[in-house]
Structure 1
Amino acid sequence: MHAPSTPPIISVSGLSKTYATGFSALKSVDLAIKRGEIFALLGPNGAGKTTLISIICGLVRPSTGTVTADGHDIQRDYRAARSAIGLVPQELTTDAFETVWATVSFSRGLFGRPKDPALIERILKDLSLWDKKDTQIRRLSGGMKRRVMIAKALSHEPRILFLDEPTAGVDVELRQDMWQMVRRLRDDGVTIILTTHYIEEAEEMADRVGVISKGEIILVEEKAELMRKLGKKQLTLQLQQPITGVPAALADFDLRLSADGEEIVYTYDTQADRTGITTLLQTLSEAGIRFRDLSTSQSSLEEIFVNLVRERA
């Protein structure tokens, strides 16, 4: 017998959003987020990322469709669903004249959670905010304000954390701190959904990747599988002697000869079998073309993403 699979912590079904102007921000989106994963939602500006997050968090009403968060329907059982979610929005919105400590403590109280100074202290220390706990928000730098937003989102101990462009405009040090914290939260069983323009972050952090374009989810895939399936690999051969042209027997290969004739670059699908490389090397050898070195490189997630969106357009 198979063990029953764990139900998704977030389930989105048939979700659409059309605004009064007639603009269709989301079109029949289906999405399931696994419990305890880091899920990266990628998409160009205006693709519908923030609208999707806002609906899941109960901030925007959908035109059609249903959303459950941690087993609770976001419309029928709003309070229970919302209390499972922490949200770090793109915009920095805090009471400028309150102190860091007061703001984060108040945020916990909003969700009806009992006071827990030890927890607030731990969150502030984790985010390098402890020495700023008595400082008014308005006196903080942009990066520090971003840290306060994260502290507020974590104050009620949510099981789901949304990070909407969390590192937009923050320094490298904060970015590193934030990703360490995200990994710790994931290790503690928190599910993390992030939208980002920094695709290297998704490449480094995410377990799965979803791509949204023009209000539609065009792909959801395990990150490693996505890179294996859609990534191109390049084999670069540095030749012992320059050549003026590639042998005719290799006309069907995706080959590029460098301007000085000293390098051949072969581009192939990672899914393709190795016979192509074997044939390439054999044909070159038969033509008396020798190489002194070879190297391979693989597409980045960014290249895959750009190609996907371009194909869709």
Structure 2
Amino acid sequence: MATIFMSKWDYLLQVDPMILTSGLYTYLRLLADHSRFVSNPKLEALKQLEIDFCIKVLKEQFPLCLKVGRDLVRLLQDLVHLPKFRAIWKDLVLNQGEFKARGFYGIPQLYNTRTPSEYMLLRITPEMEAQLRFLLTHVKLGNQKRHQAWFAKKFLWEPNRETLIIDIVRFICCAYHPTNEVIQSDVVPRWAVIGWLLKSCTKNYVEANVKLALLYDWLFFEERVDNIMDIEPAMLLMVYSIPRYIDITHTLLEFLFLLMENYDVEHYDILVKGVSTSFSVLVKRGVICSLDVLTSCDALSPILQQARQVFVR
């Protein structure tokens, strides 16, 4: 596919430029996985082709890349250990003029652009999507275990497939938004499926990236731009994990505050505003009645208790 994209470059630009940005999103995501595999000649050749395609899109068609939005930053950060992407990242931070995109003022512009849900489907096969939609639309809460076990065996148990959980969580948060009828029914909710996926992670780096996928939109949330359904699953997972699964609440809150403090120190004010807005909008829209369930929980660590001023900024 990458070879076709390169050979039909001019034609694709005329017919449907989103094909190129879709390829960019897909290959950036694949490169993060391929970079962790044991090296072999066939994979190295594929990796180089993927790198060449991505660098060409980023350098020659960056105005198109802006349409990918904030997830472009998330994907690029996973590749800064590769020299060519390190150079791209350096220009993003220090030399935005290199991209020849009129009006582009840097990373905050990407942070403020919600990634269209279409991109979240690119790493989900049609069969996976169908099974996930069935699970989240027709399976009653309490009856989901056998469906989840079948899904895991079918899609996640093969070697090197665990990283798909990252993409599944982004799909559930940002591309599958249930109707009010489904929300008010006894169907298994999104937060419960995400809790299961989080518990299914066996590798630390996968678990960290799944948490980032779940909480990413919290960091940049703006009510006029973003959809509250993107941040709802994380909030409900934290709330409904108390007290039986308090470790999930603890680890998600801790991870959220670590992200806020460390994800982008240069734009700390944006992250603080995003997290604060997320909490306030979730209460205002009635996703939860109040933040007392978190701030008054004795089981949460003193560090998280000290951070509670962010809840009520």
Normalising by structure 2, what TM-score?
0.28
Is the radius of gyration larger for structure 1 or structure 2? Answer: 1
> Is the strand fraction higher in 1 or 2?
1
Return the structure number with greater relative CO, CA threshold 8 A, min gap 6.
Answer: 1
> Is the helix fraction higher in 1 or 2?
2
